[in-house]
Structure 1
């Protein structure tokens, strides 16, 4: 059902008195209401509409549910959301009716406030005016704000009663003292406490034995990993406190080399030995930021692992980057507890209670905005609130939005996340143009390939919007948009060639727009499901060009090696070998292997003699056909595999070798390896060497006999015979043969020198 709200003055919602303009809104007027938007609003963007709802205290979700209060429809609304809203009986609003609803709520709140002020007693009114005057004086600098307001006085009284130092930072002042005080990850804290208790029991028994029932038993250390600011260090201190242990902490600012860690451990053993045995001092060793151990901590990681194996105190290691190679080697000896970011809804109660205790009033959705901007960093949110409290007592949604923009964390996004954001409808349309260009510069060598790999998988949103339900028109528009995206990628390739050849890096912004932003502009939309109807994995694929390029380099190298041998028998270039010889060799090799396989299988089911005869027949066939052909072209066993791998289409190896069994392939390999084969510079399995007469001439006879005259061969034979006489040492007059007397005298001189 569609609701049309009339304005308080009785005018229609669509009249020209400004009712159809976006209202400013007021704090809390939409509290308790949940809105879902579909389609494009004419006066506001989607993000601005969400901000308007949140400024007024409402909530925005992306899907229809039983808790949805209204569905706001813009131009070209989604049919699925409309159908779900009808099924769930959720009221629908046009854009104008949505603005009228906010104006009506604001008017009702204003009238209620006026009535409250008129009925307020004079004493309360005077007290209120006095408080306003004091606050005004404080704002002008005449009074300190913290001492001038009743809220700050109440906060100071509360701190004095609890013994908390008002000058402490909020993160230290409100450090968790109970498990209930933790914001999220309570189950991880409970496991951490169980680990410390199990360590104590294992130390008393003297055995560290792991158990399938309890995954915290049998370990001497635990690894806490997760993003910064979500309570890992606080959890370690809380677990130590609840188990009655002291904390010995080392972080990245301390030197943690092997030598320094040895000294610390020896010092700690001395303190423990000199302590009163009746009341032993329990200890927890906390190694913070173990993923930050740098080159200056030489040997520290190895010493830490050694300490984990033999420690007599529980060790808590803390890191931010769980995928670091240093941490991976460390994690093998620890319990792996992973802390996760806490949703804003779970952070709200605790953070709002801290703010109220400090005299800071927060408007609705302020906490959610700050948590979103800091990526769930609770420590940073507390720093923002404590800093803001110095100059103000209240924080509106708009103020929190400005603070969130100033304190927004720079996070590294993976290429998959950035590609999904570029090619998605909401991600592309809600991301400013400079931010889209920045995604290219995050990884300018990989992002164009990611877009090139995945843009074809999208159903363009512009095609869906322009076709208005006409499937044939949608397909035609989609083809045109995909064609424009491909043209942009082709233009980007031309720019990339100029950029790399001339080293003109000033062209990178142009290349980024053409290779990443412009294709995403045409192709962004929903990812089309595969032929099976559903995604079996993530829709964003890694660039297949990288794998194909590597495969091309491999095949080019193998083909070049093969050509260096085949050219001794056949002329032509590497391209000629690939285009002419390979398509001819593949069927011939496959047919001969199939024939050998058929001859081998002929002996199956018979006696041992029949099998031996069939094997011998196959060997003879392979030797006289396939091996002889390989020797004729100087091909090796590896070259046969190369030729078969180069087959494509009908000549693919899986098709051409179908019917050739494994024993036949093994027989062929053994047969080839057992024989001697010619290669470059060799004859039939023997090195070429000069001989006498016709043998020498035959050994150097070229492969292409028709290109060499017989007279040249005769001259080579004469040269070989002449060279044989020159090589005879007995006929050389410059060489004197040794006599037996000379040999005996030389041996005596050698023995005398050894005795001396």
Structure 2
């Protein structure tokens, strides 16, 4: 690894945007991107007219080379990039920046100062309010997530369009209720009695729900995972307001009673709004709660806002059918940075913008996590460097599920296995364990669609031979992976072989075939076709088993023999006549099917099992619609034989065993408890033991 040069200033790349393409000799891709961000530069994925420099390495992408020529962009190699860091001075060292960048920086600084002043005024007003009520609370005891929680919709980062829809739905609620929710309204939301907000944690879903409800004149009432939300409590039990949910949700009974005020003094009225947070987190303690909530949504006269992280959760299906879905996305990093910088200015912390970007990226735009990390850091220091932010993010790193589409881009991309890559074998195997059932299938489906980096050109015979060897090695490894998989999922279940399966099914094939890909999104990555083919194979095997069971009275053979010999032999007699003769052959075909006990479903299966010239698509096109209709009607009108064996075919039934003669000694009946009234007789074992004892006693007496 090459050692970075001493920078001219800590922000020497400020105001510049970079695009990296190809493999740099001394740095991996992550290291070069991190180096640019460390000194204030901005890194983008695709070159445009606004790009300052394109850093070129070996095997640069052809698409990016065309964009360089199109926009006439300046390029740098690795040495030029290092020289730029060592010689260029940033604003902190008196360096000059262009007027556009300078004005943009000044505008951002002014907005940060104004935002900090607004936060200070709001905090002062809140302190006065607490003092007047005799409930003074020290600002030092408050969490930053509480102290700097948005108080207006303007302060929420991102999802402006979705928030507007939610607010408009609440504003239109009285009119929607009067029209019995039959008028869609401007956004098509007014026919729903509930909203379902979904999205990753920490992006402002719950805050948006509370603020929209308050601005629309509703009193928000929140129930989350810490509250009991079972079916019994939702349907007839007391809620957080000490009043039955089914009364005030459906509008039954008086809403302004002595029981409509909770312990906090909040009065339940027709202007209440129920916020059900974390509905996808309902566990066994909330059994039946989702179904009960869905039933209440269908009849409620009070708006309900449901909040969940995972829209695809199985338990949310009842709610998705009766509510309008509002998907929230992660806010833009620039918006989050602006908000965080305002709070840092208010707290008198000196944290550069690139450090904040590092925190936001590491927390996956979770604003709450960023605030918690900064508030903890503030206890010991009021400054933070780039390396400090990386260490803090690593310490607070949370597990994130990566989709198989993103995993395959990493595995078969040009950087995971490049000579300068810093990922260890464990890092590469970890990608397999994100989804160990899907990732090998994605690798097997897409590994032949790359241009391997290990083969520069495929024009010459030696390079073609090298490419074939790489393909052979990858295919052999996938074959070995199938053997390992059979040991894992077989009868013995050797789960300890999972790491070996990760290497053979994912790491080795990707290490052979990594390189330039044309993957730009999920639509260009082939989904594993094996899944569909395997499902079809299982269905056909099940149907073939039904055919074999029905035909076994007339033929002998297992499923394989039926498939290979009898199905082709039956085709000219029960399928071909319908193709050639049409409706006139229907009776003959049905008679032949009855001889082999085949039903209409088995006829469809025989057609689907056809190959070559007998393939189902070609066969069905040659059978006219009139013939198909006549065939179906006549078959349904007739009575068909049922395949089963008669008793006489199996031989005579065995004779019934005759009753056992009674013992000779009458004493046996007295001792064993013979009952003449009930006409019952002890079992054979009891009678034998009793007879044995009586004979023994008689023998001893005679002696």
| Structure 1 residue matching 2:451: 3-state secondary structure | strand
| Structure 2 residue matching 1:462: 3-state secondary structure | coil
What residue number does 2:88 align with? 105
* Structure-2-length-normalised TM-score: 0.76
- Given that residues 27 and 364 in structure 1 are in contact (C-alpha distance below 8 angstroms), is that contact kept between their aligned partners in structure 2? no
* Greater displacement, 501-510 / 104-113: 104-113
- Given that residues 199 and 314 in structure 1 are in contact (C-alpha distance below 8 angstroms), is that contact kept between their aligned partners in structure 2? yes
RMSD, aligned α-carbons:
3.7
| Structure 2 residue matching 1:362: 3-state secondary structure | coil
Q: Residue 155 and residue 39 in structure 1: after superposition, are their counterparts in 2 closer, same or farther (change >3 A)?
A: same
What residue number does 2:23 align with? 40
What residue number does 2:5 align with? 23
Distance apart, 1:399 and its partner CA: 1.2
- Given that residues 290 and 318 in structure 2 are in contact (C-alpha distance below 8 angstroms), is that contact kept between their aligned partners in structure 1? no
- 1: CA distance between counterparts of 2:545 and 2:272? 67
What residue number does 2:442 align with? 450
* Greater displacement, 378-387 / 102-111: 102-111
What residue number does 2:547 align with? 562
Distance apart, 1:415 and its partner CA: 3.1
Q: Residue 629 and residue 306 in structure 1: after superposition, are their counterparts in 2 closer, same or farther (change >3 A)?
A: closer
- Given that residues 55 and 364 in structure 1 are in contact (C-alpha distance below 8 angstroms), is that contact kept between their aligned partners in structure 2? no
Matched, 1:83 2:66: yes
What residue number does 2:506 align with? 516
Distance apart, 1:198 and its partner CA: 1.5
Greater relative CO (CA pairs within 8 A, separation 6+)? 2
| Structure 1 residue matching 2:331: 3-state secondary structure | coil
What residue number does 1:187 align with? 161
What residue number does 1:751 align with? none
- 1: CA distance between counterparts of 2:561 and 2:469? 39
Q: Residue 573 and residue 375 in structure 1: after superposition, are their counterparts in 2 closer, same or farther (change >3 A)?
A: same
- 2: CA distance between counterparts of 1:417 and 1:638? 42
Distance apart, 1:208 and its partner CA: 4.0
Partner residue of 1:221 out of 174, 194, 199: 194
What residue number does 1:389 align with? 378
Q: What aligned pairs does 1:582-621 form with structure 2 within 5 A after superposition?
A: 582-597=567-582, 618=584
Partner residue of 2:432 out of 429, 440, 449: 440
Matched, 1:317 2:302: no
- 1: CA distance between counterparts of 2:536 and 2:163? 49
Distance apart, 1:212 and its partner CA: 4.1
* Greater displacement, 37-46 / 194-203: 194-203
Give the greater-gyration-radius structure (CA): 1
What per-residue deviation string (whole Å, max 9, x for no partner) do you get for residues 680-711 of structure 1? 568xxxx898xxxxxxxxxx8x9xxxxxxxxx
- 2: CA distance between counterparts of 1:178 and 1:89? 45
Matched, 1:267 2:243: yes
- Given that residues 587 and 651 in structure 1 are in contact (C-alpha distance below 8 angstroms), is that contact kept between their aligned partners in structure 2? no
Distance apart, 1:633 and its partner CA: 4.7
Q: Residue 273 and residue 56 in structure 1: after superposition, are their counterparts in 2 closer, same or farther (change >3 A)?
A: same
What residue number does 1:357 align with? 346
Q: What aligned pairs does 1:248-267 form with structure 2 within 5 A after superposition?
A: 248-261=221-234, 262-264=237-239, 267=243
Partner residue of 1:546 out of 511, 531, 534: 531
Partner residue of 2:356 out of 367, 373, 380: 367
Q: Residue 554 and residue 318 in structure 1: after superposition, are their counterparts in 2 closer, same or farther (change >3 A)?
A: closer
Matched, 1:461 2:434: no
What residue number does 2:272 align with? 283
- 1: CA distance between counterparts of 2:463 and 2:363? 41
* Structure-1-length-normalised TM-score: 0.71
Distance apart, 1:72 and its partner CA: 1.4
Matched, 1:239 2:212: yes
Matched, 1:505 2:495: yes
- Given that residues 120 and 346 in structure 2 are in contact (C-alpha distance below 8 angstroms), is that contact kept between their aligned partners in structure 1? no
- Given that residues 681 and 688 in structure 1 are in contact (C-alpha distance below 8 angstroms), is that contact kept between their aligned partners in structure 2? no
